[in-house]
Amino acid sequence: MFKHIFIYRLKVLMKDKTMLFWTLIFPIALAAFFKLSFGGLVEQGTFRAIDVVVVEETRQEGFMGVMESLSSGDDQLFNMTIEDMDTAKGMLEEEMVTAIITVNETIGMTVNQSGFGQSIVKSVLDQYNNTANAVENILSTNPAAFESIAEDLRSRVTYTVEQPITDAKMDITLNYFYALIAMASLYGSFFGMEEVNNIQANLSVHAARVNMAPVHKLKIFLSSTSASLVIQYSEMLVFLAYLRFILNVDFGSQIGLILLTTFVGSLVGISLGAFVSALFKSGEDVKTGILIGTTMTGAFLSGLMFGDIKYLVQTKMPILALVNPVNVLSDAFYALYFYDDYIRYTQNIAILLSFSFVFCTATYLIIRRRKYASI
């Protein structure tokens, strides 16, 4: 009996185009939209070395040493070329460089517009000039201080220490995609709603017919919900594959736990839908509206549309963050990616399983009723 109902429910659900749209096509379209919108954000956050041309009218070993140091290595600040003044002016004119640095007795710069790069060049030159002037002044009054000044300049101390919580590369767009995956998982609620509609005689004609059959209602519910879970999880796998391989969203290396999280998310989604459907007697359209409203509100509060809201909710109303399944689910992905230990992740999964348990128990308590006051 389980197999019979399970297989037919799979057939029905696979051919339900409306359901397929909401649970798969819509999240895919939204992800593509996100990718297009966020495409430039990561590049904007990456520093590109500033192109400068140096015109060395007077040889200054010290300054050229500093410039060569700033123009090499992984964290180079400048791309430096050395040319005569005419060539340098041509390069500036054609915007091949940001600034011309002129090396004389003093160090000067020429720019033809203001901007971020120009400010950095100016800041570096100001700092060099100030330091050079200070050293010159000190040595003119106290030549014996040369050694200690040289030592001070060599051993600059940073008084703050960066302590990274993870080795993972920071990507500000990931939170949006995590919230989107959470939202898509919770869209599994449509499947849960459908299953309860199909076994409650006061909700649909199909259910009335099923209720007249000599089969226990719980058996029908479990077999049809299992079919829903298989379909929803399969769709989520397609969605994850799309994010990972087409949109190149980085999920880190813990693929097994990511799949587990998605499975738990699908379970929460389906049980939420079943609970809402059992709780409200209204029509399918009203219930769909309630589920979309709940899921979208949850997604909004977990940062799907506006990234900072997640932080705001977390700090101002932490209880709201805790009872929002979309937030807990997206946070589980976040914890998996950014944290090296599993404490936060495990907490999130435990909360999600609790949600599912509560929804399932409440649903059972409602649908176990066998006779209806009206049909």
Q: Which residues pair with 82 in a beta bridge?
A: 54
Q: Is 366:274 a contact under the CB 8 Å cutoff?
A: no
**By C-beta, is 10 or 111 nearer to other proteins?**
10
**CB 8 → other proteins: shortest distance, Å?**
5
Using CB under 8 A, pick the residue from 20, 30, 138, 208 that binds other proteins: 208
**CB of 196: closest distance to other proteins in angstroms?**
16
Of the candidates 103, 201, 276, 335, which one interacts with other proteins according to CB under 8 A? Answer: 201
Of these, 209, 238, 323, 354, which contacts other proteins (CB under 8 A)? 209
Give the residue with the Cβ less far from other proteins, 29 or 375: 375
Report yes or no: 120 and 77 within 8 Å, Cβ to Cβ. yes
Angle at which helix 284-301 crosses helix 189-197, to 10 degrees, equals 160
Nearer to other proteins, 212 or 319 (CB): 212
- Pick between residue 71 and residue 226 the one whose CB is nearest to other proteins: 226
Does position 210 interact with other proteins (CB under 8 A)? The reply is yes
Q: How far apart are CA 46 and CA 117, in angstroms?
A: 14
12 binds other proteins, rule: CB under 8 A? yes
Of 205 and 255, which CB lies nearer to other proteins in the complex structure? Answer: 205
Alpha carbon of 77 to those of 64, 161, 271: distances in Å?
14, 22, 54
Closest by CA position to 60, among listed 125, 150, 11: 125
Q: Does 1 bind other proteins (CB under 8 A)?
A: yes
- Can residue 218 be called a binding residue for other proteins (CB under 8 A)? no
Write the DSSP string, 36-96.
HHHHHHHHHTS--PEEEEEEESS--HHHHHHHHHHTSSTT--EEEEE--HHHHHHHHHTTS
- Interacting residue with other proteins among 32, 66, 215, 222 (CB under 8 A): 215
Task: For 145, list phi and psi in degrees, rounded to 5.
Answer: -80, 0
Residue 211 contacts other proteins per CB under 8 A: yes
What distance in Å separates the CA atoms of residue 178 and residue 286, rounded to the nearest whole number? 28
Of 89, 122, 206, 344, the one binding other proteins (CB under 8 A) is 206
Answer for which of 41, 172, 205, 350 binds other proteins (CB under 8 A) is 205
18 near other proteins (CB under 8 A)? no
Nearer to other proteins, 13 or 332 (CB): 13
| Residues 78/52, Cβ–Cβ less than 8 Å | yes
SS3 106: coil
Whose structure tokens read 């609620």? 189
Q: To the nearest whole angstrom, how small is the minimum distance from the Cβ of residue 23 to other proteins?
A: 15
| Interacting span for other proteins (CB under 8 A) from 58-66, 201-209, 262-270, 310-318 | 201-209
- Where on the chain is the footprint of other proteins (CB under 8 A)? 1, 4-5, 8, 11-16, 201, 204-206, 208-216, 370-375
